[in-house]
Structure 1
Amino acid sequence: MNISLTGRHLELTDAIKTHMTSSIETLNKYNMGITSVNVIASAQTKKGKEHSMVEFVITMAGKNSVIIKQNDDDLYAAIDIAIERAQKALRRMHDKEVDHQKVGLNTIKSEDVDVKETAEAMEDEIVPVELDLYKPREVEDVLNDLKESNKMFEIFLDNEDKTRVLYKRNDGKFGLY
Structure 2
Amino acid sequence: MNTSIVGRQFELTESIKSYCDSAFEALSKYNLDIISAKAIISADERNGKKGFDVEFAINLAKKDTIVIRQKDKDLYAAIDLALDRASKVLRRHHDKLVTHKNSDELKESRIIVDEVSIEGADEIVPTELELYKPMEVEEALTKLKDSGAQFYVFNDMDAKMRVLYKRNDGKFGLY
Deviation at 1:126, TM superposition (A): 5.4
SS in 2 for 1:80: helix
Kindly provide the CA deviation profile for residues 65-109 of structure 1, in whole angstroms up to 9, marking residues without a partner as x: 1110000000000001100110010000000000113248xxxxx
AA at the equivalent of 1:95: D
Aligned residue-pair number: 116
Structure 2: state its 5+ residue gaps. Answer: 105-131, 133-153, 170-175
Aligned-partner Cα distance in 1 for 2:161–2:14:
71
- Cα distance, 1:101–1:126 mapped onto 2, change above 3 Å: farther
In structure 2, the partner of 1:88 is 88
Aligned-partner Cα distance in 1 for 2:81–2:20:
12
AA at the equivalent of 2:91: R
In structure 2, the partner of 1:61 is 61
Aligned-partner Cα distance in 2 for 1:16–1:126:
69
Deviation at 1:64, TM superposition (A): 1.5
Aligned-partner Cα distance in 2 for 1:86–1:49:
26
In structure 1, the partner of 2:161 is 127
In structure 2, the partner of 1:29 is 29
In structure 2, the partner of 1:78 is 78
AA at the equivalent of 2:99: D
SS in 1 for 2:161: coil
Aligned-partner Cα distance in 2 for 1:58–1:26:
13
Aligned-partner Cα distance in 2 for 1:16–1:37:
15
Aligned identity (percent) is 45
Deviation at 1:55, TM superposition (A): 0.1
Deviation at 1:129, TM superposition (A): 6.8
Runs of 4+ displaced beyond 6 Å: none
Q: TM-score scaled by structure 2? A: 0.60
Aligned-partner Cα distance in 2 for 1:27–1:77:
17
Q: TM-score scaled by structure 1? A: 0.60
